[in-house]
Amino acid sequence: MYFRRPALSTRVAHSTPKTKPPQQWTQEPSTEARAPMVRYTARGQPANDSLTALPIDLNRPQNSLTCAVMCLAGLAAAAATLALPDDNRQPITIRTQEAIRDETKGTTVYRGDVEIVQGSLVISADEVTLTQADRPARSASASRDPLAGSNVMLIEARGAPARMQQLPEAGGELVRARARVIEFFQSKALIRLRNAVRLRQGQMEMDAARMDYAIDRQVITAWANPATGQRVRTLIPPDRLPPGGEE
């Protein structure tokens, strides 16, 4: 006996974001002598506010008695439509109060009400570290934008908690997640949430010590933490359960 994937809601409330003044970057030489570092201070308005694995494969039906299906029944809609198809091809916009760029390491640290937007993906955190690769050489007259001419490899957001949200592909409910650490591997289309993780869509919830979401493959993997006794918890509202006896 297998569960059918629950039907998606056909309405989504879209809110119009408030217009914010553009950031102005001022360049200040660092007083540290150990490495050539540049400090970018943004002038503008702050932005808005051993493990046990449990894999959930959305492309393969599972036995209804397994815990994987219980998670699948509640979160199939969330995982299957977690990202708009064009999100990973959209530019990344970062709003913050301060950014410190380390040219030798290829990293930029953002602090103070950090907001990251890529398509429908929005990540909010207290501090974000952005690691870049394949960085071409830039002249002194090059753009002062820390993202200019760079290829983003990893975005690590930290907060108490850090928050993430993404809009489903078509007519679904907004998916929200929170964790102390959110890692976004752009080149791998992978989002990893660590420490006190909660994923929610409507009244459906899942708690875990860690979650990985493979965007392209539409697979969620949730981990418990035997060391602390934390287990993977899934809350499925009655209206999301399939009718009894259906195969």
Res 178: pLDDT: 96
Residue 171 is predicted with a pLDDT of: 72
Q: What is the pTM of this model?
A: 0.60
The per-residue DSSP string of 128-174 comes to EEEEEES-----TTS---TTTT-EEEEEEEEEEEEEEEE--SSSPPP
In order of start, what are the domains of the chain with their CATH numbers? Answer: 63-135+154-232 (2.60.450.10)
pLDDT, mean of each 10-residue run, the chain (247 residues): 42 46 45 42 38 39 34 42 62 92 90 91 94 58 46 86 83 86 87 92 89 81 88 84 62
Cα separation, 209 vs 144, in Å, equals 39
Sequence-distant (≥ 6) Cβ neighbours of residue 103 within 8 angstroms: 36, 37, 38
User: What b-and-e string marks burial along 160-190, b requiring 16 or more CB atoms within 10 Å of the CB?
Assistant: ebbbbebbbeeebbbbbbbbbbbbbbbeeeb
pLDDT of residue 181: 97
